[in-house]
Amino acid sequence: MSAQTMNPHQHTQLQDKVRPAKGSPRHRPTLATLTLSRISVELRSYRRQPDTVFFTFLFPVMMLCIFATAFSNLSFGPDDLGLTAAGYYLPAMLASGVLLSGFQNLGSDLAVERYDGTRRRLALTPLPVAAYLLGKLGLVLITALVQAVLLIAVARFAFDVPLPDSWSAWTTLIWVFLLGLGTSVVLGFLVSYLPRSAKSATAVILPPVLILQFVSGVYLQFSQLPEWLQNVASVFPLKWIAQGFRAALLPDQFAVLERGEAWHLGLVATVLAVWFVSGLVVTLLTFRWVPGDRR
């Protein structure tokens, strides 16, 4: 039967069978589907940037190897525990990796996309803001997790660093990693507003990263810093991330080198949680697809 011989009712029924129903899931992807698709896009873009992969992914591994080799004839810790340089610097490099992945890499990436037209183009698509933000979070989570596993594997198999033998230590390692990474991510969103152009992103974000690493117990022993500098560093989350990793990976005797001669894990969790929640609230309130956009 041709379309010309159909009555209007039959023609309408045929159209309804051929045309998907309005609001069909096939035409309205879920947030989870859009997020996974966005994570895939972010990962492909990340792999195409070898300089970013080196400085934010392989840099902590390279530094661990340098410290482990340069100070291989030294032992670290109180009472001559015999801890090697690789074992001592492993927590510090894990903290550095969390900062580089969430703060430096994400902050620079967001600043560039803010000014090079990427976000302006995305604003014209149906992509929701939540999927974009979760896509960035997924990228950072995956790369930071792979980096942490690689750091631990290199320390264990290349430098014979003993790993924790208790569930409590591994539990501490996991929650410090997740909470520290979440804090670094929201700070990465916030610091992305500081550069005034795409070209200045690295120049603006890199100095705070370097300074924080030197004053937060990553490259230098925190207890050997002047007290006023310890007070300044204690305001920022990297000091607490590094302290949490030390609590998980170093012998308990090392706690005497911390302020108050204890790990203070409750305080670590509190400070990181305050930074994370505060940063998340500000991020959600201030994010815009385009600079100056009121949406």
Domain ranges for the chain: 30-286
Q: Report the C-alpha gap between 243 and 234 in whole angstroms.
A: 11
Q: Per-residue pLDDT tens for 44-86?
A: 988 888 877 777 788 999 999 999 999 888 777 666 667 889 9
Q: Identify whether the C-beta of residue 61 lies closer than 8 Å to the C-beta of residue 159.
A: no
Cβ-proximal residues to 167 (8 Å cutoff; 6+ apart), any chain: none
Q: Taking the chain, what is the end-to-end CA distance rounded to the nearest angstrom?
A: 52
Q: Per-residue pLDDT tens for 208-251?
A: 999 999 999 999 889 889 999 999 999 999 999 999 999 999 99
Cβ-proximal residues to 262 (8 Å cutoff; 6+ apart), any chain: 255
In this structure, what DSSP letter does residue 194 have? S
Q: Per-residue pLDDT tens for 80-136?
A: 667 889 999 999 999 999 999 999 999 999 999 988 888 889 888 888 888 999 999
